[in-house]
Structures are given as C-alpha cells and as structure tokens.
Amino acid sequence: MRAAIWTPRLKPQTNGLQTQPGSTHRTCDHTRVIDLHAHSTCSDGRLTPTALVARAAEAGVTTFALTDHDTVDGLDEARTAADTHGMTFINGVEISVTWQRRTLHVVGLAFDSRNPSLANGLATLQQARRDRAARIAAKIEKLGVTDALPRAQAMAGDGQITRPHFARLLIEDGICRDNNQAFKKHLRPGRDAHAAIEWAALESAIGWLHAAGGIAVLAHPFGYGFSGAWRQRAIAAFAAAGGDALEICTGTTDRQQEVTAARDAAQHGLVGSVGSDFHAPEQFWLGLGRLRALPGDMNAVWHDARFKV
C-alpha cells in the first residue's frame, strides 16, 4: 500500500488484531471469509499466484481476489489454484492513478480480464513503469552503480522492478548504508535519482474497469498519508468520477478508521470492500482474510450485481 511498492515495516502496526497470535478475526458474511486485495510475484508480492492462493486457503479464505499492480498476468494461474482449493476466485487488479499530483490506488474487481479497453490501459501503465525503471537506472549509474537495469531486472524476476530494488543496488555498491538512506538521499521526490511518473487519470481507470464489466474500489483511504481534508477530497473525487466502493477494512486499519471510512463512503453513495493488501509472509502482523466485518449495516461490494464469479 501507500506507494506502488511494498517496503517491509520494521514494526507491526497495532490494529487490535495482532495482539493474540493465531487470532481468528475474519470478515465473515454468513459462512464466507473474504479477502479482496492481495499481491503476487506478478507485481511486488513475494509468493507466486499458486502459493498465495494456497496460503489464503490455509487461512480459511473462501472468497479471494488477486489484485496485482497494473497487471492481470497472475489471474489465470490464481484461478486454477483457487479451483483446486474449492475457493471462489474474483478477478482483481490494483490500478495506479495520478490525482492532484498524488498517487491513488483503484482496485478493480470482477471484470473481464480480456477486455481490450482494460488491457490497453494496463499496457500503457506497464510501459510507463518500465520507462521509469530505465530512467532511475540511468540516474543511479551516474552515482556509481554498475549495470543497474539488468541487475534490478534479475532481482525482480518476472515481477515488476520497483524502487526498493534500486535501493538494494545502492547498498550493494556501497553508495548507501541502508534502505532508509537510499530513499532519503536519492530515490524520493526531489532527490537526484527520483524519476516522476504519470499514472492513469482517475476517470480513465474507472472507465476501463466499467468497460470490462467490473467494479472500481478506492483502496486503503488511510494508506496515502493524507490529512482528513485530503482524504475526503480524494473520496469525493473518486465518487464523482463514477467509482463504486471504498475499501473499509484492511490489514492495517483500526476500528475507528473503519467507522470513519464507512461514514465517508455512505456520504458519497459508495459501498464497502475489505482486503488485507497482503504482500509477503514476512508481514507477520498481517494475515490473509484476517479482517473485521464491515461496520454496522453497510452495503458490501460482494452484494453488487456485477460481483459475478
């Protein structure tokens, strides 16, 4: 969450769910355990789609969406794995959006993954991501890193090259002491190895998802580091652009945030979604499917007619 990359946090955020090891809080809807936001090696996750689905099944998840950043590459593999576990699988994606010079994430659910509008839109974002990687590689080579792009690609494997890969190169080549310094001195906006990127417009991302018969969810409203006013503006802009749902319960929200988000959603006619944003087993404080139920009598995205399996 936050940026389009995952960087390990040293300390778990306390959201009340992690105090008891093996805690079994779950988003239940009658007998279902639902998790509609998770990442695989097709973007910046640590597990292959098959391994991720197996882990979700082990955790008791019964309705699951794979939502890699700007790609649907893992969906076929994940669906096949889900079938073997008797799990309900929902097509998912997390689209990067630039709004008011800030990055927002729009989770798409239950769309036709072969729809050409969506495929073309995602292709432009993947190209933008590759261009950015090449620009950052050129910049860190000027700082003394050798063969930056091929080495970053080797680290990423089939997944996306992300800024933490370049941070690792800066450390390996002795230019930075640690990840924190690499970002602070070189990779963050305004520093010498930063490369800006223009993601999709909010209206475009929502438009592609609707063209593909899917549902648009504004991901983790508390995950952008916004003030309350900016959070409300983002939710209002998302709703005005045709968005359908707001992610209320995530792996790092506390109940107060969930209640606040549910109130914001109701104000703008958005229904609620839930998703852990799981990236890696090292995030031991964040379990697949370990999410609270939506607050009160909030309408759930899985009751939307378009939420077809």
Residues that bind Zn ion (CB under 5 A): 94, 277
Nearest to 258 by CA among 6, 2, 16, 9: 16
- Nearer Cβ to Zn ion (103/181): 103
- Nearer Cβ to Zn ion (1/133): 1
- Nearer Cβ to Zn ion (70/277): 277
- Nearer Cβ to Zn ion (94/264): 94
> Is residue 168 helix, strand or coil?
helix
What is the DSSP annotation of 141-166? HHTT-SSHHHHHHHHHTTS---HHHH
Nearest to 305 by CA among 118, 110, 116: 110
- Nearer Cβ to Zn ion (73/277): 277
Cβ 277 to Zn ion, closest distance in Å?
A: 4
Beta-ladder partners of 200: 97
Count of beta carbons in the 10 Å neighbourhood of residue 251: 28
Please report, for residues 121, 137, 142, 268, the alpha-carbon distance to residue 197 in angstroms, rounded to integers and kept in the order given: 15, 14, 20, 29
Do 271 and 32 meet the contact criterion of CB atoms below 8 Å apart?
no
Do 33 and 27 meet the contact criterion of CB atoms below 8 Å apart?
yes
Cβ 94 to Zn ion, closest distance in Å?
A: 5
> What are the φ/ψ torsions at residue 174 (nearest 5 degrees)?
75, 15
Cβ 96 to Zn ion, closest distance in Å?
A: 10
Cβ 181 to Zn ion, closest distance in Å?
A: 26
Cβ 192 to Zn ion, closest distance in Å?
A: 28
Closest CB to Zn ion: residue number = 277
CA dihedral 36, 39, 40, 45 (to 10 degrees): -160
The dihedral of CA 248, 249, 250, 253: what is its sign?
positive
Cβ 182 to Zn ion, closest distance in Å?
A: 22
Please report, for residues 61, 64, 304, the alpha-carbon distance to residue 25 in angstroms, rounded to integers and kept in the order given: 12, 16, 24
- Nearer Cβ to Zn ion (258/277): 277
- Nearer Cβ to Zn ion (74/137): 74
Cβ 5 to Zn ion, closest distance in Å?
A: 10
Query: How far apart are alpha carbons 44 and 37 in whole angstroms?
Result: 13
Cβ 39 to Zn ion, closest distance in Å?
A: 6
- Nearer Cβ to Zn ion (134/280): 280
